[in-house]
Amino acid sequence: MRQADTPRVTVVVPAYNEDEHIVPVLDRLFESVHLQCEVLVVVDSEDDTTIPVVTEYALKEPRIRCVINTYGSGPANAIRFGIDAAAAPVAVVTMADGCDDPRQIDDLARLVDRGVAVAAASRYMPGGQQVGGPILKGLMSKSAGRSLKLLAHIGTRDATNSFKAYSTDFVRKVGIDSRDGFELGIELTAKAKRLRMPVAEIPTIWLDRQAGMSNFKVAKWIPGYLRWYRFAFGRRLSAEQIRAYGQKMGRDRDR
């Protein structure tokens, strides 16, 4: 890719059998993003119903492509694959269900341009809001986010939200160790904290999905969230030490 064609931001959209539900989400995304971008819709298999819809959409919008994740099933692996495939220095992760506000992608990316490792769209700071969704999930997320901000000084009140922008250089230095759910958001925020790299936030309004079914599995993914919640507390570590911790965690998980 020529330097003039290199996007400023890669938008990573993990998707699972979204079918036609993804079309209005993509419409809003391309109406909202003004920075030079590429959009990677990441699916787990060749028979995912999202593929033909995105393939047809790409006929009118060349900045989008659908890629098949080869790292393993699940949202964490899809996001990990998408960030690894990103051509831009900034990767923004947003969901295929329309819950996130795509108008904020440019602002999140510009914060990373200015030097932060992680820029979070925060539901729990002044001006932010969560509309709908399971009550228990919301309470757990809000409690985790606010306590991490207060006690660990993590830089955002919403560490658990997946709608974030990342420096791809930072991600490739520390690696991604999540393999199951959406705990990747808190993982990379915690790693930035331990590396003493800046984290910033802007308010967002999150709306529960209006079509299709959520694939969020609270009970299955809680242990991963707790693991990275604990990791956010502690002394400064180097990128090599953080990678070593992740490798040890991976060995423990595979036993």
| CB 202, CB 123: distance < 8 Å | no
What are the boundaries of each domain within the chain?
3-254
Give whole-number Cα distances, 113 to 39, 90, 210, 250, in Å.
18, 8, 33, 31
Whether 55 has a pLDDT exceeding 80, the answer reads yes
Report the alpha-carbon distance of residue 140 to residue 148 in Å, rounded.
12
Q: What is the structure's pLDDT at 2?
A: 47
Query: May I ask the CATH class of domain 3-254?
Result: alpha beta
User: What would the pLDDT profile of 86-110 be if each residue is shown by its tens digit?
Assistant: 999 999 999 999 999 999 999 999 9
| CB 49, CB 18: distance < 8 Å | yes
In angstroms, how far is CA 154 from the centroid of its own chain? Answer: 17
Q: For residue 177, what are the β-bridge partners?
A: none
User: What would the pLDDT profile of 162-205 be if each residue is shown by its tens digit?
Assistant: 999 999 999 999 999 998 778 999 999 999 999 999 999 999 99
Whether 62 has a pLDDT exceeding 70, the answer reads yes
Q: For residue 113, what are the β-bridge partners?
A: none
Task: State pTM to two decimals.
Answer: 0.91
Q: What is the structure's pLDDT at 219?
A: 58
